[in-house]
Structure 1
Amino acid sequence: MPSLSAKHPALLIIDMQVGLFDGPEKPHDGERVLANINQLISKARLTGAPIFAVRHTGPQGSPIASGNPLWQLLPTLELDSSVDTLFDKTRPSCFFGTPLTDQLTAGGINELVIVGMKTQFCIDTTCRVAVELGFQPTLVADAHTCMNTPALPAAAIIEHHNATLGGAFVKLLNTADVQF
């Protein structure tokens, strides 16, 4: 279990993929969210905080199947594959069936700054599982997004998840207030 005595944060970027971001259904405030994520990448780099980026991998035949151009991370993300840790997942949790827990533990990471897509699926699940695993997650309120659904507009989904997760599961901050 991670130590809670000293602050050792990492940035976790979830599912900022071509097929999800540039698909027929556009994410709410996508360009602003992308700009905020790139600002957080810069902040993390300045302090030497590790950066992890994950992409969701769908089954063969899916638009986001491994190797498909839509599966790739956005080229406009300011990631550096020579220093950042890139990995794949097949479930909403960034921890299930991935090396993330072991990598964070090996690096002494105890805090996760969480950003990306989609709010009601992978963001929500990863925040909740991070707490169960003993990490201290921070959800960046203005750096995660999703699309409208038949039941709710994306803005309402994001607002609901910020309110539901904030306090009970995560520290909730805006991009400008995040410090690594």
Structure 2
Amino acid sequence: MKKALLVIDMQVGLFHGPQAPFEGERVLANINALIVAARAAGAPVVVVRHTGPEGSPIAAGSALWQVVPELGVDVHQDHFVDKTRPSCFFNTGLAEWLDDAGVGELVICGMKTDYCIDSTARLAGDLGFKAVLVADAHTTMDSPVLDAAAIIAHHNQVLAGPFVKLLSTAEVSFQG
């Protein structure tokens, strides 16, 4: 089964915004390691950007909408998807593109755990994809109710099993 890496919302406005993501530098390093591993195996790298309406801080093309420059993506080699809702699948053509590319398994990483990571991980299986959530390669920020570490731990526990296979960066393989 062909695998693809799905890198969600690693954008300037989120990653370098007013509230820093939990262990952001570690998560970024893990995502970059996953990108290197995916490329070495010939697996597609799909980069998703959340896009706000015209005039918003994260409108298409704005400085805050851009992918963080520290992320090892290649605009000529990787597949870019723009979304307007938390799910990477809603009105984006992503599922169709993955089907056309023969991808059956998604390795999910990025931001934000409690929104776009959660929504995408839950829907992937309903669309026929096996999903792997990389436990140490997604992040979020503190909320008024829970700190980011608790949000991440909660989602890793809740999603593992019924929605995703939970692996660490070191455990992920894009072979076969």
* TM-score, scaled to structure 1: 0.95
Amino acid at match of 1:175: T
Q: 5+ residue gaps in structure 1?
A: 1-6
Q: Secondary structure at the match of 1:69?
A: coil
Q: Out of 25, 29, 44, which is 2:23 matched to? A: 29
Q: 1:40: how far off?
A: 0.2
Please give the residue correspondences for 1:31-180 in structure 2 after superposition, counting only pairs within 5 Å.
31-180=25-174
Q: 1:177: how far off?
A: 0.3
State how far apart, in whole Å, the 2-side matches of 1:9 and 1:78 are.
19
Aligned residue in 1 for 2:13: 19
State how far apart, in whole Å, the 1-side matches of 2:126 and 2:20 are.
32
Answering whether residue 17 of structure 2 is matched by residue 9 of structure 1, we say no
State how far apart, in whole Å, the 2-side matches of 1:19 and 1:90 are.
15
Q: 1:158: how far off?
A: 0.2
Identity of aligned residues (%): 62
Amino acid at match of 2:82: D
Amino acid at match of 2:125: V
Amino acid at match of 1:88: D
Q: 1:60: how far off?
A: 2.3
Q: 5+ residue gaps in structure 2?
A: none
Aligned residue in 2 for 1:3: none
User: RMSD of the TM alignment (CA)?
Assistant: 0.6
Q: Secondary structure at the match of 1:92?
A: coil
Moved over 2 A (4+): none
